[in-house]
Amino acid sequence: MLARATAFCESGSMIPKDLKYVDQLRRYESAVEKAGMSKLHGLRHAYAQRRYQQLTGWPAPAAGGPVSAQLTQQQRAVDRSARLQVSAELGHNREEITAVYLGR
C-alpha cells in the first residue's frame, strides 16, 4: 500500500492535479465518514510537523520549536525552504498556509 501511495505522490502531492484542495478535502471527509471515522485532519498537522523537523533538524514552532524571531538568517532560509516543501506536499503550494500547520 505504501509503495502505491508513494508512486501516486511522485508530484509531491496526493491531491489530483484536476482538483483543488477544498475539493479533495471534501472527498476525503466523505470517505472518512463512510468508514465510520471523524476528525482525522489532525493527521495532516502531525505529518507537516514531522516533515518540517526532518527537513530542518528542529521542531516546528507549533511543536515547541523556535519561533521565526529566534532563527538566524541561515536558519530562516532553511525554514522557508522547508515550509515551501511541506506546503507542496500538502497540496497547497503556498508558504503562508504552513503557519496553520507549523506555527510561526
Assigned C-alpha cell, 42 = 489532525
The total of structural domains in the chain comes to 1
User: Residue 15 belongs to what domain range?
Assistant: 2-102
H-run or E-run covering 49: helix 42-56
DSSP state of 69: G
Share of the chain above pLDDT 70, in %: 87
Mean pLDDT of 17-27: 86
Asked if 24 and 91 count as a contact pair (C-beta separation under 8 A), the reply is yes
Q: Is residue 8 predicted with pLDDT exceeding 70?
A: no
Give this prediction's pTM: 0.69
Q: Is residue 82 predicted with pLDDT exceeding 90?
A: yes
